[in-house]
Structure 1
C-alpha cells in the first residue's frame, strides 16, 4: 500500500512538471539560455548549468551542493530539499531532483545572483536592470527599435490579431516608454510594451543583438483563408479572434478553448458588495484569461445565482438557474443543480438562505469575500462570529476576517439559541441534487441554456420564456460558456464587428454555435455592456464609455 501511494505521488509530481527556459539578459553580451522546468507556477533552474551565466564554484557531495559566487554561498540540500543563502536565509521546498539533475526555485536564484526576473507562460527572464528602449521609430514601411540590452527572440512577439489587419508588437521584459510614437496605439502593463497598428501588408521581423526591425514585405495580406486569426494555439490553451457572418451581418468572436485538467478555472469576485473598476481588478489578479460571468443587480452589484470556487460556496441566493459545473476530478457539465446549505450548532439545525448577499433571509452567512456594508442590524438579527476552525469567538456584529464566518439568525428564533455560547462548534453541510454525482469545486449559475441534448426542445423553449425579453430578443453582445465534443471548456464573447455595441439575439447565438462547431452543451452568461474578454494583460474588447466598469463576478483561467 505504501509503495502504491509513493508511486502515485511521484506520478502526480512528474505529470505537473513542464519543460521551460530561463533566459539571462545582459547589456554587454548575447543572452544565455539555461535548462529550466516549471512546477505549480514556479520555475526551477538547472543548477549544473549556472556556469553558463557566469563563473562560479560548484561543489557537490551526496547530500549537499555548495555554490560560491562572488562573496555569497548557496547551500542546496539534496535530502531535505531546502536551500540556504550564506547559511542564514532558509528556503524550504525550493529544490527539485529529477533524472539526476538538481533544480533551484526562481526566487532563491534571483536573491543569490542579485537579479530581477520576469515570468511569461513558458519562459523566465533574469536581468540586473530592466531593459529599455533607447530609440524607437515607426513609419509606414518599418518599425525599428534599439535597446540597451541584448534581447532574445522570446522577448519579441509580432501577431496579426484580427481581420481588420491590426497588428500587435509585444516587447518584454521592458521598461515603460517615456514618450510613445503618436502613430501607434501604445500601452504598457506588467513590464511589457504593447504597440498596435493597422496595415494591409505582411511583415518580416528581425532581431539582432540590441536592434529590432519590423519591415514591410510589400505584398498585401491574402484574404483567401477567410476572416480568422489565431493568436495562441497551444494544445490545451487555444485563444482566437475571428469574424463570422450570420444573417448578413459580421460578428466578432473572442474565444478560448481550454482543458480544465491542465489549467485552473476559478470564479473571481471583484470586491463583492462594493464598486471597483474591473480593469484595475483584472490587472491586479492577472489571470491568463477572463470573461464576465454572473448576472447581477446593476444598482447593488449583487450577483444573481449560486457561486462556488475552489470548493467553497461563495454566494447563495434563492434563484434557480442552470450552472457551469467542474467537479473534483475535473469533469465539466452544464445543468440545473439544487443546493441546500445547512448549519448545525448545539444540536440545532439551520437552513442557510443567503451567503454574501443582502437578499432577505431568516438565516444568512457572510465571509471575508464580502467587501460591502452588512446592512442587517442587531435590532433584527442575532450575530455569531466563527473562526477558521468553525468555533464561536464572538456574539456581535463584526466584519469577518479571512477564513472567518459571520452567521446571522433572525431574532424571532432567539428563544431557541440560548445554548449557543463562546466555543460552540458549527458544522457545515452542503446537500446537492442527485444529478451531481461528484463534489463540485466550481459552480457558476447563468442561463438560459443554449444547447443541451439531455433536455427536450419543449423544456428549452419553456426555460427560454422564463427570462426577460431583453435577454432573449435584444441584439446584444453575448458571453457564452460551452463544452465541446472533446470535453474542452469553451469561453467566448460575441459582439458586432462594425458596431461592437450590438450583437445577437438568443436564437442567433444558438444558431451561430451550431454553425461553429460540435458543442454538447452551452449556456449564456451575463451580456450586453458587461461582456468583456481579458487576455494578454488587457481587456481586448474595451469600448470607451460603453463597457461597464463595475463587474462583480468573473470566470478566469490560471496556470495550475
Structure 2
C-alpha cells in the first residue's frame, strides 16, 4: 500500500480498487452513449466524450460535474480527499484511465459485463411490412439485446432498459428489474436484426397461415322459386386426400357415415352414391386407387379424380374388358347380386356369390387362374369371374388352371 501527503488534502483517505483482469468484453453505458474499454483502459478521447474535461501540464487535471481529479505519476487524488494509486498511464502521449476507476468514480451499476449510469429508453415501436422497428434513446451495443426463438415465437430482451412507447397490437411487453422483454405475437419462421444508429430493425419471416383445405359451409339457395338449405363441403384436392370408403364388413353391408370416417381416420365425408337398401350394394360406379369395386349402370354422374390431380363431375360410360388368355369379354357387372353373362367379384364383396347352373366360376389370384368351380365367397386377395357356359364353350374350350387373367378399363372421355 502506498500513501502520499499533500498540503491540498483536507482528509487523507485510501480508496481501494480491486483491479480485475478483463477477460471478457465490457460495455459501459454513460449519458446514453456506449463505450468499450481497450485492455481495461479508456482513452482520453473517450473520456471527453463521456463528459470529462481534461487539462494536461505537469499534472493531469480532470473535471466532471464540478468534481476535480488531480493526477500525478499514475495516481489520482479525487476531490482533494481520496487517493487512488496506479489508475492511469500515458502511452505515446495518450492518456489512458482504467475502466474500473471510471466505474467507481461514476458509481455505475453493473450486471454481468454491462456498466451503466441509467437505463436507456425504448421510445417508439412500430410494425409495418413484416418489419418491427424499435427506436431507442441511445445507440446501444449488441450485448444489451438478446433474443430467443422457440416454437415460431420471437422474444427480445433489452438490458438495462425502460420503455416509454405505445406498443403495436402484435407485440406484448413486460418489464422487471431494468429488463424490458418484447414478445412478437405472430408465428414466424426466421428473423434478422439490423442495428442502425438509435434504431433496431427486426426483419421477420412470417409463418404462412395454414390454408383452409376443407371448409364446411351452410347456405340458403333458391331454385324454382323455393328456398333450400344446402350443406357444402368445399375441399382443395391438391392438399386434402379424397377417397371412397366402404363399411368394414365390405360391399353388401352398410354403416353410419360417422363410423366410416372415424374407423378410417378421416374428418369429413358425404354420402357419395346410392345403395340398394335390400342388399346393401352400391348402385353406382366405385373405383378406389384404380380398382373397380362396383359397376352396374352407365351414363350416370360420377365424381372423378385422375392420377394427375384433375377433379371433376361428369356423366360417362365406362367399359370393363376381361381378358382370359388371348380372349376378351365385356364385363356386365362388378360385385353385383344380379346374374349376368360376364360378372366379376373382388375380395371386398361380402355377400354370397349368386349361383347359376348355366355359369362357370373361375377363381383368380395374382393374375392367374387357381381353380375352376363355384365358390360361395371370394377368397382373400383373390377375384372370381362368372361367365356363361355358352361363352366358355365357344371361346374358352381349353380353359385351365394357370392361364392369365386381367382387366382393362376405358371411358368415353378417355380417362
Quickly name the TM-score band, shorter chain normalised. 0.3 to 0.5
Larger RCO (alpha carbons 8 Å, 6+ apart): 1
Which structure is larger by alpha-carbon Rg, 1 or 2?
2
Normalising by structure 2, what TM-score?
Answer: 0.45
TM-score of the pair, normalised by structure 1? 0.34
